Amino acid sequence: MSTYFRNCHKFILVVQDWGGPTALHLAVNQPDCILGIVISSTWAWKANSESEKFSNFFKIEEGQRLIYEENYFVRTLLLKSMNKKWGNNKAIIVAYEMAFRTPESRKGTLVFPQQITLSESWFQEIEEKLQLLADKPVELILGEKNRTLGNPESIAKWRSFYPNANVQLFPDADHFTQEESPESFVFALRRILKENKENKNSI
């Protein structure tokens, strides 16, 4: 870890879905490298009861069959997380399907859900260190139609770690906020850059 960040250039993290715990795991261990964080549709803590059920389903034979034989993650779960505009766009769906054309290529879409519960100690380690980034500019971009990662409980959880974060809530957005509201990410990045510039000038 320390080797990876040795003499690091400072940067802004933009995280979504599994990019959240993956990148934040690095960030909390080297907070001096982080200029700010844009957080959307993700988590960095141990699973709640609903997430546990989701994770455990993919440990049983039926869950594994759906992934390998029916490309369930793309053809079902992905579609449920999109708004109608994107979900009805065949080109977008085909693009995702092409990445998982064979059963072998779908292994990752099975392993990631399983790891939600299999990696509990890793998630707990991240959660315990999240406050190390509390002095950074943080932007939360959340779709309220995402019942797992955009619900009041999840929003309150992020705010408990980053009470000074700027929060953008979108009532009609689901999981893919970067596609449904790309301009919100531009605004977030501009605010972080501005805050860093102002802090630098004040030193």
Tell if the pTM clears 0.85, that is, is over it. yes
Nearest to 44 by CA among 61, 27, 65: 27
Nearest to 150 by CA among 180, 122, 130, 128: 180
What pLDDT was estimated at residue 28?
A: 97
Provide the Cα torsion 159, 164, 168, 173; round to 10°: -20
Class of the CATH-defined domain 2-48+118-202: alpha beta
Q: How confident is the model at residue 2 (pLDDT cuts 50, 70, 90)?
A: very low
Provide the Cα torsion 115, 70, 92, 59; round to 10°: -10
* Residues of each domain in the chain carrying CATH 3.40.50.1820: 2-48+118-202
- For 50-73, the pLDDT digits (tens) are 999 999 999 999 999 999 999 999
Provide the 10 A C-beta neighbour count for residue 181: 18
Report d(CA 34, CA 30) in Å as an integer.
8
- Is the pLDDT at 3 greater than 60? The verdict is no
> Over the chain, what is the mean pLDDT?
92
What pLDDT was estimated at residue 112?
A: 96
Report d(CA 27, CA 138) in Å as an integer.
13
Provide the 10 A C-beta neighbour count for residue 164: 10
Report d(CA 96, CA 31) in Å as an integer.
34
What pLDDT was estimated at residue 11?
A: 93
